[in-house]
Amino acid sequence: MISVRKYEKKDFDGVRFACLNSTGEEYDPIVSEFILRTYCDYYIEHEPENCFVLDDDGKAVGYIICTENYDDYKEIFDKEYLPLIKPLGEERYKWALESTILQNKYKADYPAHMHIDILPAYHRHGFGGKLLTALFDHLREKGIKGVMLTAGTENLNAGSFYKKYGFEQLEIYDTDVAFGMKLI
């Protein structure tokens, strides 16, 4: 049976696998490490209570991961994760740092930000929408005003997905588009 549920410790490897395998692209070990350290590990290690998984028979096959407060995230990310990314190369380090900057501009209305990824076999069955609903309900209960994210400008499927579920397109940058959803 396929359902959405809260993240549990046993999902750690499944979530990291989905993070690296949601698009069908293959990454070498250094790029994989960079992606996990930059876009995944903080959320499941520091805010597991704000993460949900798509569960197929006990196995995580997709996820939505989130921080509820940008400033708290940024402090820990800079202290704990950037030093792990530094040895992966100067360019990657700069990219990781830049990936944490844009959210600052929107934090008054959108203090939370999120990432979502689902394994390809489960795309386009409405599961992404179900993960969004689970996260929105959870953040509303906590009194969080809004959630935002950035998607690659070239990721047209993701852009279409966020618009379909009511996100506002906040701004288009060179490589990223910022989307936001007000929750209360």
By CB under 6 A, name the binding residues for ligand COA: 22-23, 116-118, 123-129, 151, 155, 157-158, 160-161, 164
Q: How many CB atoms lie within 10 A of CB 38?
A: 22
Six-digit token string for 67: 């921080």
Shortest distance, position 153 Cβ to ligand COA, whole Å: 11
Least Cα distance to 12 among 67, 73, 70, 63 occurs for 63
We find the least distance from the C-beta atom of residue 79 to ligand COA, in angstroms, to be 25
Tokens 């930000």 sit on residue: 113
Tell me the closest approach of the beta carbon of residue 17 to ligand COA, in angstroms.
13
| Residue with smaller CB distance to ligand COA, 80 or 130 | 130
Q: How far is the CB of 140 from ligand COA (least distance, A)?
A: 19
In a 3-state reduction of DSSP, which class is residue 62?
Answer: strand
Nearer to ligand COA, 73 or 127 (CB): 127
Instruction: Tell me which residue has its CB nearest to ligand COA.
Output: 128
